[in-house]
Amino acid sequence: MRDDYQQLVDEITAVLRAPATLENRDFALIAFGAQDSEDGEDTEEPALDPVRTRSILQRRSTAAVRAWFEAFGIARAQAPLRIPPDPAAGVFMGRICLPVRHRGVVHGYVWLLDDGHLSDLELGGPTGAPDPRLARAMETAARIGALLAAEARAGEELGELLRDVLTAPPAGRDAARTQLRTALRGAADGPLTLV
């Protein structure tokens, strides 16, 4: 897990006092936050259900879980959504989904487990403003979205440079290799193998 994502997820966990996970739009786990008890003692079992446990241990959700959550419209959501529990689907606790967007594009999701203490959290919408804590969490989700978008752009640029290395005429390959090496910042020192 990259430290910047972990810090941002920990920030959301602290603001909302709820265990949070961050997944990319393909439901691959990026970071997850711990939920401490109020007095710092570990007197209660952590809030988990089979879907959350599998997501953390396998670092991704299954296609069935993804389809189940997407049926609630999370990919189109502009604001937080409440997802009800469904024990048959392995979702024993409800969730609040914070869509992680940047410039109108969804790049991932922050998932908050609701063990009951988030049930009075006002999500906002046409009838009112969201709870101030949730508004802060959404600001953090927007920062995560900007980071994920920047990573996606960097990956696209690396792909273009690699294509240039592989397809450039012999006279242009050295320049393409130099550009790729510079873009990889030290990760390209020494021999590399392309499979």
Ordered by start, the domain boundaries in the chain are: 3-150, 154-184
- Reported as a pLDDT band with limits 50, 70 and 90, residue 12 is very high
Mean pLDDT of the chain: 81
Identify the pLDDT of residue 1.
43
| pLDDT of res. 186 | 66
Nearest to 96 by CA among 106, 155, 79, 49: 79
Distance CA 99, CA 22 (A): 10
pTM: 0.74
pLDDT of residue 13: 92
For residue range 72-90, list pLDDT tens digits in order. 999 999 889 998 888 787 7
Distance CA 70, CA 137 (A): 21
The highest-level CATH class for domain 3-150 is alpha beta
Compute the distance between CA of residue 153 and CA of residue 161 in angstroms, rounded to an integer: 12
